[in-house]
Structure 1
Amino acid sequence: MKTLQNQTLLYDEDCPLCQVYTKGFVKTGMLDENGRKPYCQLSEDEQNFVDIKRAANEIALVDNKTKTVTYGIDSLLKVIGFSFPRIEKIGSVKPVKYFLKKLYSFVSYNRKVIIPSQIKEANKLQCVPDFNYKYRFIFIAFALMITTFALFAFSNLIPNLPKSSVLRELILALGQIVFQSIFLLKLDKKTMINYAGNLMTVSLMGSLILLPIVLLNEVIILPKNLILGWFASTVLIMFMEHFRRIKILNLPFYLSYTWVIYRIIALLLILNL
């Protein structure tokens, strides 16, 4: 494995994904021992040539000799491409690179709703991406789509529930956002949309937990008690995760209880309509 020398990736220390892949670059020898550094530890000298705002949105790769910086997908292609030139060559093809840039932006601008973290007041530099409305709405739509189809598939496994439809599950998922937003009307639009992103991340997480049961049931017929028990456990996990996020976001604690109330109302409507 060829090692890219005298290069340092500036990563978001509060992003588990960023920590894993930058550490992986160092461990595999793609970068030297000084090949990664938390963004918040940027020196004053480095701040003179690193675009601080851009580096919070796109991971920066600093050339310690020339004092030059590459950002985002270009940084990753440079690191990986030094050891695997063919990957860099493929990644540099215009349509491929366009797709990779969009995918990178989708993840980067939404990383704080995918995995939220508390602001560390002790850090003068905070690696927080800009609030990008386009990518936030795309993320919410993506999570909404996955949640809709996962719930549609799982609902039909639960006994005594009326047969589900994709439209019903879509309305219920959208309704959750609208219902919760009612209790945030006094707050600014940015806070409401940020909460909606976190809300849909919790729903997406729950959908992914339910998915193995849906797939397993295609192979063998699972006991109804197992299906109900799995569903109840998933709801409990989602509630705990929602409650954790509310604390991190410094939002009213009652949002977790209105989250439960909505689901009870939705269940009653399903059973009686």
Structure 2
Amino acid sequence: MNTLKNQTIIYDDACPMCTAYTGAFIRLGWLEKRLPFSRVSPELLQKIDVDRGRHEIPLFDPVSGQTVYGLDALFLIIGTHLPWLKPLLSNRAFRFFWKQIYWIITYNRRIIAGSRAHASGLDCAPDRNLTYRWMYILLMLALSSRLLWLTLAGSGPALAGIVPASIPLILSLLLGLIRKNDRLSWLGNWITVIFIFALGLYMLPVGLFSLVGITVFSQFMLWKRF
């Protein structure tokens, strides 16, 4: 098994997604070392581009002193372990597509996760980027609408309760838009929960129990983000 033994990936530990996929690299044996941003030493911070690292996850090699960032870092890890994928990973059209997905996720990762910075250590939260924030909101809106349409088309009368179930979600949106100073971030939080709500309805068996359960879970997620 090919393992990057020297490199250390430095991840946003306030982001559950970042924690999960970097942990998966370690468990799979694709990497040996990872380090959360909140525990990075001042000496290491001087060796990487911190501002770039807030937006593109750094993969630092202490032997060469070089750092690879973002999608290049992820593709390097994947390509090292799965060399047969290297031609695809180096394809310009393929890289362009996934670069856009990467930017959408990285600029909205705190919105997607509904997480906040740790009380101590470096906060590597990304900058606010209106373009990618709106791209994320519109993408989630399109996917949620499609999932809800497929669910309703397939179950029709059995999901008559979806209308009253959606009322608390709509009220949460309105309340957040009234009370929150950063309305765009709240809209991002809300559409994330709506997508989870729509995905749950699409995947779970249709019924009162599942509808109530998904609604309660969605409201809980919104409450945590409020």
TM range, smaller chain: 0.7 to 0.9
- 1:1-273 aligned at under 5 Å gives the runs 1-32=1-32, 35-123=33-121, 125-155=122-152, 157=155, 159=157, 179-180=174-175, 182-184=177-179, 187=181, 191-213=182-204, 227-246=207-226
**Structure 1 segments of 4 or more deviating over 6 A?**
175-178
Query: Relative to 1, partners in 2 of residues 1:177 and 1:12: Cα closer, same or farther, differing over 3 Å?
Result: same
Q: What stretches of structure 2 of length at least 5 have no aligned partner?
A: none
- Identity over the aligned pairs, expressed in percent? 28
Counterpart amino acid of residue 108 in structure 2: N
What is the TM-score normalised by the length of structure 1? Answer: 0.72
Max Rg structure: 1
In the alignment, the residues of structure 2 paired with residue 111 and residue 153 of structure 1 have an alpha-carbon distance, to the nearest angstrom, of: 27
Determine if contact 2:3/2:31 at 8 Å carries over to the other structure: yes
**SS in structure 2 of the partner of residue 13 of structure 1:** coil
State the 1:127 CA deviation.
2.0
Counterparts of 1:77 and 1:194, CA distance in 2:
30
Report the TM-score, using the length of structure 2 for normalisation: 0.85
Aligned pair in 2 of structure 1 residues 176, 134: CA closer, same or farther (>3 Å)? farther
User: Which deviates more from structure 2 when the two are superposed, residues 127-136 or residues 153-162?
Assistant: 153-162
Q: How many angstroms apart in 2 are the aligned matches of 1:160 and 1:70?
A: 51
Sort the Cα spacing of 1:69 and 1:160 in 2 relative to 1 into closer, same or farther, 3 A.
closer
Gaps of 5+ in 1: 165-171, 217-225, 247-273
Higher relative contact order (CA closer than 8 Å, sequence separation 6+): 2
Q: Aligned residue pairs: how many?
A: 219
Q: Sort the Cα spacing of 1:158 and 1:10 in 2 relative to 1 into closer, same or farther, 3 A.
A: same
Shift of 1:50: 0.7
Alpha carbons of structure 1 residues 161 and 64: separation in structure 2 relative to 1, 3 Å: closer
Contact 2:107 2:127 in 1 (8 A): yes
CA distance in structure 2 between the aligned counterparts of 1:73 and 1:108, rounded to whole angstroms: 10
Give me the CA root mean square deviation.
2.7
Q: Distance in 1 between matches of 2:89 and 2:158?
A: 51
